[in-house]
Every structure is written in C-alpha cells, then in structure tokens.
C-alpha cells in the first residue's frame, strides 16, 4: 500500500510540476520577456527617460558626457 501511495504521489507531483514549470512556466516567461525589458532599459539609458532623484522624487535632467581630449 505504501509503495502504491508513493508512486501515485510522485506521478501527481510530476504532472503538477509539469503544468507549472512547463512551456508556459515562469522560467520560460522570463526568458521571453527579458529581451523586451532590456530594450526598454537601453532606450531609457539612451534618451535619459524615467530617471528620478531618490530624495526629491523629481525627474533628472540628462547630461551629455563630457568629451575628453584624445577620445573619439
């Protein structure tokens, strides 16, 4: 009786985990959304959007990097 219970419990756990961690599970969802998130972050870095002062909560003005002599 115990052997059957353990086998059924293992089978049940395997099916449930397959449902949660299968093709539409959280890991694959993250893999699918990571490129979109990276593109948004890269865009925000390029144009200086959505940056806030932690203390005041106001938007920050984006400054172009200073050109050093000898650099392109």
- Tallying the residues shown for the chain, one arrives at 72
Whole domain around residue 29: which residue ranges? 2-47
Both structure tokens of 32: 């699918």
| Tally of domains in the chain | 1
**Residue 68 scores a pLDDT above 70:** no
Question: Is 63 inside any structural domain?
Answer: no
Check if the beta carbon of residue 52 is closer than 8 Å to that of residue 59.
yes
In a domain, 28, yes or no: yes
pTM score of the predicted model: 0.36
Q: What is the pLDDT of residues 6-61, one digit of tens each?
A: 999 999 988 888 777 777 777 777 777 888 888 888 877 776 666 777 788 777 66
Task: Give the CA angle between residues 40, 46, 47 to the nearest 5°.
Answer: 95
């Amino acid at each position: 009786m115990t052997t059957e219970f353990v086998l059924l419990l293992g089978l049940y756990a395997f099916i449930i985990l397959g449902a949660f961690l299968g093709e539409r599970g959280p890991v694959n969802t993250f893999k699918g959304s990571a490129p979109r998130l990276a593109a948004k972050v890269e865009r925000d870095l390029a144009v200086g959007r959505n940056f806030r002062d932690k203390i005041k909560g106001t938007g920050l003005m984006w400054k172009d990097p200073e050109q050093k002599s000898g650099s392109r």
